[in-house]
Amino acid sequence: MPTKRLTVLSVLAVAALSSGSIFAQTSMVASQGAVGTITAPHLLSQFPILAPAPMLAQSVLPTQLTAQAPAAAQASAIEGTPTLHMAGESAPLADVSDVGDDGDDSAINNSADLHKTLIGLAMKLRDIRYVRGGRDPSTGFDCSGFVRYVFAHAIGLELPSNSASQFLAGLKVNRAEMQPGDLVFFRTAGRRGKGRISHVGIYIDHGQFIHSPSRGKAVRVDNLDESYWAKRFAGAKRPGGMAVAQRG
């Protein structure tokens, strides 16, 4: 009987001590909560499922994803904004495939205008009679006088006074590359085109040229493929001033 009483008393003592300890811990938590900090009971920390914070803290993203995330966020933040280049850093080249060349267009237009002006004036002088040594519409033209007059009055270019000199002053042009306004030369003084340069005309296009042929005739248009002219054709030349104007 005394032993049972002692056992009961021991149990009651242990229970009292335990309840006192729990009460003291609860009181400390309450007092700390008033200050602003609450500490989780020690028992919870022993069960990971009831304390997830340490587990989450230990969970980290792979290194590659962690490095890419800031870069992606930065790219997303600056998308659509122009790129700034520091001093000394080369900027990307602009696409110039669609940019037109105004200089080339201007040269083409100038060349076309020269051709049109030359041929236009030459055609207006058709039917003016041939006169040996003639230099003016009022008196008539010979071949070199006709060519010299057209160039001087159409584009202000002074040519030599005779066909042989005009031939030497020009730049050689292949027949397949002739353009309106080029000069075409013939050897009419000798037999079957074997003589010196003695005749000149102005090339129009498609094998046609305009000239002042010979005594008893007038300024007219002929074709290089005609038998007489084909046999005596000596070549084509482009006056130096015309070549410079076309390049400019």
**Between vectors from CA 163 to CA 159 and to CA 165, what angle results, nearest 5°?**
65
Concerning whether 85 is annotated as a catalytic residue, the answer is no
- Helix ranges (DSSP H) in 130-239: 143-155, 163-169, 227-232
Of the residues 42, 85, 115, 143, only one is catalytic, namely 143
| Phi, psi (deg, nearest 5) at residue 81 | -100, 145
Distance CA 131, CA 186 (A): 19
| Phi, psi (deg, nearest 5) at residue 140 | 115, 170
Concerning whether 153 is annotated as a catalytic residue, the answer is no
- Helix ranges (DSSP H) in 59-205: 63-78, 102-124, 143-155, 163-169
- Polymer length of the chain: 248
- The pair of three-digit structure tokens given for residue 197, joined into one six-digit string: 């340069």
Secondary structure string (H, E, C) spanning 153-178? HHHCCCCCCCHHHHHHHEEEECHHHC
Say if residues 185 and 163 touch (Cβ distance below 8 Å). yes
Concerning whether 42 is annotated as a catalytic residue, the answer is no
Say if residues 221 and 204 touch (Cβ distance below 8 Å). yes
Positions marked active-site: 143, 199, 211
